């Protein structure tokens, strides 16, 4: 399972995870699974996730935020991640997409007994790493 923080404005507008075209999420994930670049079809992206047994969700159920930066999240309400993990014991690893997701997961889900691993944010705001370096870190987190 991959946990982000909260969908950004474009994702909310389109009702799709990682809909903002400059977000590297889909490029990284397709790279990690050694498949060709994602199509523009969201249904094909969802089929890709299903094929690789990857679930997407967010640490937060709701929050206030102007824009898309995680640093601007306020008054957050967490999702019931412990309940989800208990209901689906086949969830064996959680990738935390970015430092805010990682920090928030550990604050709101301290008793979740699943291997939770930080991965570099796919957000275009996190430009300290190249796409290739991010994909390598994600690959290591998924397959090590």
Instruction: Look up the CATH superfamily of 2-143.
Output: Uracil-DNA glycosylase-like domain (3.40.470.10)
Indicate left, alpha or beta for 86 from its phi (over 0: left) and psi (-120 to 50: alpha).
alpha
Flag residues of the chain having pLDDT under 70: 38
Three-state DSSP at 31 gives helix
CA pair distance 120, 137, nearest whole angstrom = 7
Query: pLDDT of 28-51, one tens digit each?
Result: 999 999 998 767 789 999 999 999
Contact present, 28 and 138 (Cβ < 8 Å): yes
The pLDDT value recorded for residue 84 is 96
The pLDDT value recorded for residue 40 is 72
| β-strand partners of 119 | 97
CA pair distance 7, 136, nearest whole angstrom = 24
The pLDDT value recorded for residue 38 is 66
The pLDDT value recorded for residue 37 is 74
């Amino acid at each position: 399972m991959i946990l982000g923080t909260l969908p950004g404005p474009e994702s909310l507008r389109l009702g799709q995870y990682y809909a903002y075209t400059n977000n590297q999420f889909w490029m990284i994930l397709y790279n990690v699974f050694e498949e060709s670049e994602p199509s523009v079809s969201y249904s094909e992206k969802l089929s890709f996730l299903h094929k690789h047994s990857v679930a997407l969700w967010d640490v937060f159920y709701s929050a206030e935020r102007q824009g898309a930066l995680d640093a601007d999240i306020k008054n957050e309400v967490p999702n019931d991640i412990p309940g989800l993990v208990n209901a689906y014991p086949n969830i064996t690893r959680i990738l935390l997409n970015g430092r805010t997701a990682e920090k928030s997961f550990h604050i709101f889900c301290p008793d979740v007994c699943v291997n939770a691993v930080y991965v570099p944010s796919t957000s275009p705001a996190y430009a300290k790493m190249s796409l290739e370096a991010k994909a390598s870190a994600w690959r290591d987190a998924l397959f090590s």
